[in-house]
Amino acid sequence: MTQRSFVFRVLCYPRQTYDDATFYGEIEGFQGVYATGKIIEACRKELMEVLEEWILLSIARHLPLPKHISFQALLP
């Protein structure tokens, strides 16, 4: 299986809530893909896991992927 790399714009920034400070992250072009973490590295890791699950669920449900990703690019 050939692995391909994709570049996404990941936004992670500090967020202060009433009870604690966390980091919030999202990926542009992927509606509903977001994550939080106590430290920025945890936020990024969670965000990549959410993205992977989002792509797999979209493929399983035959939902459209963002324009910069195609089914052919994800398959071997």
CATH number of the domain bearing residue 57: 3.30.160.250
pLDDT > 90? residue 67: no
Q: Binning pLDDT at 50, 70 and 90, where does residue 35 land?
A: very high
Model-level pTM greater than 0.85? Answer: no
Element (H or E) spanning 70, and its range? none
Residue 48: inside a domain: yes
pLDDT > 80? residue 14: yes
What is the rounded distance in angstroms from the CA atom of residue 52 to the CA atom of residue 37?
17
Please indicate whether residue 34 or residue 7 has the higher confidence score (pLDDT): 34
Beta strands in 1-76 (DSSP E): 10-16, 21-27, 34-37
Residue 5: inside a domain: no
Residue 40: inside a domain: yes
Residue 67: inside a domain: yes
